Protein backbone atom coordinates (compact mmCIF):
# COMPACT_ATOMS: atom_id res chain seq x y z
CA UNK A 1 0.00 0.00 0.00
CA UNK A 2 1.42 3.37 -1.00
CA UNK A 3 1.88 5.98 1.70
CA UNK A 4 -0.38 9.05 1.53
CA UNK A 5 1.18 12.22 0.15
CA UNK A 6 1.76 14.08 3.43
CA UNK A 7 2.17 11.05 5.70
CA UNK A 8 5.98 11.04 5.77
CA UNK A 9 6.06 14.77 6.57
CA UNK A 10 3.47 14.39 9.34
CA UNK A 11 5.34 11.39 10.78
CA UNK A 12 8.57 13.41 10.90
CA UNK A 13 6.72 16.21 12.68
CA UNK A 14 5.35 13.72 15.23
CA UNK A 15 8.82 12.22 15.70
CA UNK A 16 10.36 15.67 16.22
CA UNK A 17 7.67 16.38 18.81
CA UNK A 18 7.89 13.15 20.86
CA UNK A 19 11.56 12.17 20.60
CA UNK A 20 12.84 14.75 23.14
CA UNK A 21 10.30 13.45 25.69
CA UNK A 22 11.28 9.84 25.02
CA UNK A 23 14.99 10.64 25.32
CA UNK A 24 14.37 12.36 28.67
CA UNK A 25 13.77 8.92 30.20
CA UNK A 26 16.06 5.95 30.60
CA UNK A 27 14.66 2.97 28.65
CA UNK A 28 11.01 4.09 28.58
CA UNK A 29 8.05 1.95 27.57
CA UNK A 30 5.67 3.52 25.04
CA UNK A 31 2.01 2.87 24.29
CA UNK A 32 1.00 4.16 20.85
CA UNK A 33 -2.78 4.23 20.56
CA UNK A 34 -3.63 4.67 16.91
CA UNK A 35 -0.25 3.41 15.70
CA UNK A 36 -1.44 3.11 12.10
CA UNK A 37 -1.24 0.51 9.39
CA UNK A 38 2.54 0.00 9.59
CA UNK A 39 3.30 1.29 13.10
CA UNK A 40 6.02 3.42 11.54
CA UNK A 41 6.45 5.80 14.47
CA UNK A 42 7.10 2.84 16.79
CA UNK A 43 9.71 1.52 14.37
CA UNK A 44 11.42 4.92 14.27
CA UNK A 45 11.60 5.28 18.06
CA UNK A 46 12.60 1.63 18.65
CA UNK A 47 16.31 2.45 19.24
CA UNK A 48 15.33 4.83 22.06
CA UNK A 49 12.85 2.67 24.01
CA UNK A 50 12.87 -0.47 26.14
CA UNK A 51 9.51 -1.62 24.77
CA UNK A 52 6.63 -0.36 22.70
CA UNK A 53 3.05 -1.46 22.21
CA UNK A 54 0.90 -0.22 19.34
CA UNK A 55 -2.88 -0.52 19.15
CA UNK A 56 -4.94 0.35 16.09
CA UNK A 57 -7.91 -1.12 14.25
CA UNK A 58 -5.62 -1.55 11.23
CA UNK A 59 -2.37 -2.42 13.00
CA UNK A 60 -0.15 -5.10 11.48
CA UNK A 61 0.82 -7.99 13.72
CA UNK A 62 4.33 -7.18 14.90
CA UNK A 63 6.16 -9.26 17.49
CA UNK A 64 9.79 -8.36 18.07
CA UNK A 65 11.94 -8.25 21.17
CA UNK A 66 10.86 -4.64 21.77
CA UNK A 67 7.66 -4.09 19.79
CA UNK A 68 4.19 -5.64 19.93
CA UNK A 69 1.13 -4.46 18.04
CA UNK A 70 -2.51 -5.39 18.35
CA UNK A 71 -5.47 -4.88 16.09
CA UNK A 72 -8.29 -3.59 18.26
CA UNK A 73 -11.43 -1.55 17.62
CA UNK A 74 -12.55 0.66 20.48
CA UNK A 75 -16.31 1.07 20.64
CA UNK A 76 -18.44 3.23 22.90
CA UNK A 77 -20.72 1.36 25.27
CA UNK A 78 -23.54 3.74 24.38
CA UNK A 79 -24.56 4.09 20.75
CA UNK A 80 -23.75 7.48 19.29
CA UNK A 81 -21.24 8.56 21.96
CA UNK A 82 -18.26 8.50 19.60
CA UNK A 83 -20.14 10.11 16.72
CA UNK A 84 -21.58 12.92 18.85
CA UNK A 85 -18.25 13.68 20.54
CA UNK A 86 -16.55 13.92 17.13
CA UNK A 87 -19.28 16.22 15.88
CA UNK A 88 -18.74 18.55 18.87
CA UNK A 89 -14.99 18.74 18.28
CA UNK A 90 -15.25 18.91 14.52
CA UNK A 91 -13.16 15.76 14.08
CA UNK A 92 -13.62 12.37 12.55
CA UNK A 93 -14.70 13.32 9.06
CA UNK A 94 -18.02 11.55 9.57
CA UNK A 95 -16.55 8.14 8.72
CA UNK A 96 -16.15 5.09 10.90
CA UNK A 97 -14.60 1.82 9.89
CA UNK A 98 -14.44 -1.59 11.44
CA UNK A 99 -11.42 -3.85 11.61
CA UNK A 100 -10.95 -6.49 9.00
CA UNK A 101 -8.19 -8.39 10.77
CA UNK A 102 -8.97 -11.33 13.01
CA UNK A 103 -5.79 -10.77 15.07
CA UNK A 104 -7.34 -8.71 17.86
CA UNK A 105 -6.18 -7.88 21.33
CA UNK A 106 -8.51 -9.61 23.79
CA UNK A 107 -8.30 -6.62 26.11
CA UNK A 108 -6.60 -3.22 26.15
CA UNK A 109 -5.38 -4.22 29.63
CA UNK A 110 -3.23 -6.92 28.00
CA UNK A 111 -1.36 -4.21 26.12
CA UNK A 112 -0.85 -2.23 29.32
CA UNK A 113 0.48 -5.33 31.12
CA UNK A 114 3.09 -5.73 28.38
CA UNK A 115 4.40 -2.27 29.22
CA UNK A 116 4.87 -2.99 32.91
CA UNK A 117 8.49 -3.40 33.88
SS3 107: coil
Q: Who has greater pLDDT, 79 or 22? A: 22
SS3 86: helix
Average pLDDT value for the chain? 76
Q: Identify the band that residue 111 occupies on the pLDDT scale cut at 50, 70 and 90.
A: low
Q: How far apart are the first and last CA of the chain?
A: 35
* Secondary element (H or E) of residue 67: strand 67-71
pTM of the model: 0.62
Amino acid sequence: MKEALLESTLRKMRLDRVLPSIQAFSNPSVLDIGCGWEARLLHEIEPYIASGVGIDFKAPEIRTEKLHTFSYFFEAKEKGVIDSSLAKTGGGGGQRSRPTSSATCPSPMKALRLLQC
